Amino acid sequence: MGQTSPRSNMNSNSNKQTVSTESETIEVDLREPLLAAALAWLCPGAGHLYQRRYRKGALFMICILGTFFFGLILGNGHVVYASWRPNDYRWQAIPQLGMGLPAFPAVIQNLKVRDGGDPYMVTAWRFPRGHRKAFQIMSSEERERYAEDMKKNEFMAKPLMDGFMAPPDGELSTNDADVLAMWTAETQHGFELGTLYTVVAGLLNILAIYDAFAGPVLPSEDEKKNKEDESDESSSGNS
């Protein structure tokens, strides 16, 4: 008698997924899969909580959000931003946006600053290009003095502003110092590591979104049999 492969079917009326093998049957109530997927994108784990898959939802929420915010902390809140301009084609924002709402401030900040506006949630002010302390962070006293000097000299350049999840202010260069270079220098390796962590978190959440939409995927009987055969061969080889 031959092996039977897993059978997966979706009941369109109840939105329940049933995965059956010879040894086990798993039934998962996906409720409204599209709504669950949308919730999973808005916040990691939320779609699974909606489906009453509480353990998996809590696991995704803790692990994926933890990975994302750890990366954000490593990069001083600068590693997640949206930008598409010369010398700053931030392709990493695409997988980062897989996080949904936690990464969405990057889109809002991009819309705010791309036409010359100041970012929301300014975290620091920097001396502009051409200043002897160019791109360094101003202290509160230095900012007050600079503001007074700007009142006396209307031709002085505005300070550069760091915004939470906002693109680096000012023009960027591949050869000269700029705000992006200062972000990298100030965090040492934290900027690159933070970018990696947030990208990985976004990609992981895309997998979680698929799981909320389509349900769990079990290995086929052929895959199980191959693994068992490999294990038996390894055991016999060791003996």
Question: What is residue 9's predicted lDDT score, i.e. its pLDDT?
Answer: 55
Predicted local confidence at residue 10, as pLDDT: 55
Amino acid at 189: H
Coil, helix or strand at residue 126: strand
What pLDDT does residue 17 have?
65
pLDDT tens digits along 30-69: 889 999 999 999 999 999 999 999 999 999 999 999 999 9
What pLDDT, in 10s, does the model give residues 70-106?
Answer: 999 999 999 999 999 888 999 999 999 999 999 999 9
| Predicted pLDDT at 5 | 45
Q: Is pLDDT above 90 for 238?
A: no
Amino acid occupying residue 231:
S
Residue with tokens 């990985």: 200
Q: Are 45 and 55 in contact (CB under 8 A)?
A: no
Residue 4 pLDDT greater than 50, yes or no: no
Is the pLDDT at 220 greater than 80? The verdict is: no
Pairing of strands 84-85, 88-89: antiparallel
Question: What is the per-residue burial (b if ≥16 Cβ within 10 Å, else e) of 48-81?
Answer: bbbbebeebbeebbeebbebbbebbebbbbbbbb
Identify any residues that bridge with 125 across adjacent strands, giving them in sequence order: 161
